[in-house]
Amino acid sequence: MVLMKKTDSGLSEVVSSVLVLTIVIVAITLIALIALPIMGENEERVHNGDVLIEFANMKADVDTAWLSNNTGVTRQAVFTLSPFGDKTEITMFPNLFGVLSSGTVSLTHGADTFNYGGVTYVPVIITYTASNMYADDIELVYSGEDGGSLSQNSNKILPGSEINGVGSYIIVVKASDEEQSLGGNEIITLEYRLDTIVPYGSDYLCVFDMVLR
């Protein structure tokens, strides 16, 4: 009888351990399948909005530079490539979301060319492309071909700037301001400086020096 009681007690402990392990596995599975996607999508949606604000601020500052003819002053715009890169945002799983989502900022040249003083200039196009794990991907495009308009997923959300109906091109020197593309999940800085403004027909050519770092 004593042996039977010891056997029953041992079996009960094994069953209890199996039940606890099963509950833990089920809980972890539910978190992975339900909780993490919900939290991840929320973090990435918030980050999408943050990058849009960063691009809008950059556009406003570039407009301010040329509208006020503030030449020779180096300015900066900061773009966060993922939720992990936003150090001001508190997240429950920042490292995980940083690994799962990333982004790329590209500085490219537009198709038009302008020749002035023996130098060839081209409109600048700055593009942010998100690579999200949970939320929808977005693409933001700042176009110097259209006076510095801002579009999201091919939909124009901010028009290019003008003075008294006179439009502008935001341009760079083709030979020295090379095309660039930087990606990852942290922070990228755009440095830019207005060099000069040149009347060009019925428009203005706003010559900037721009580089991604």
Predicted confidence at residue 159, as pLDDT, reads 95
Give 84's pLDDT tier (boundaries 50, 70, 90). confident
pLDDT digits (tens, 9 = 90+) for 11-63: 677 676 777 777 777 666 655 566 566 777 788 888 899 999 999 999 999 99
Number of domains forming the structure of the chain: 1
Inform me whether the pLDDT recorded for 2 exceeds 50: no
Predicted confidence at residue 1, as pLDDT, reads 46
What proportion of the chain, given as a percentage, has pLDDT over 90? 56
pLDDT digits (tens, 9 = 90+) for 116-157: 888 999 999 999 999 888 888 899 999 999 999 999 999 999
94 to each of 30, 40, 52, 97, 122, how far by Cα in Å? Answer: 20, 10, 20, 5, 39
pTM of the model: 0.80
Domain of residue 172 covers 3-212
Predicted confidence at residue 194, as pLDDT, reads 97
Predicted confidence at residue 105, as pLDDT, reads 97
Predicted confidence at residue 209, as pLDDT, reads 97
In this predicted model, which residue has the larger pLDDT, 96 or 208? 208
Give 106's pLDDT tier (boundaries 50, 70, 90). very high
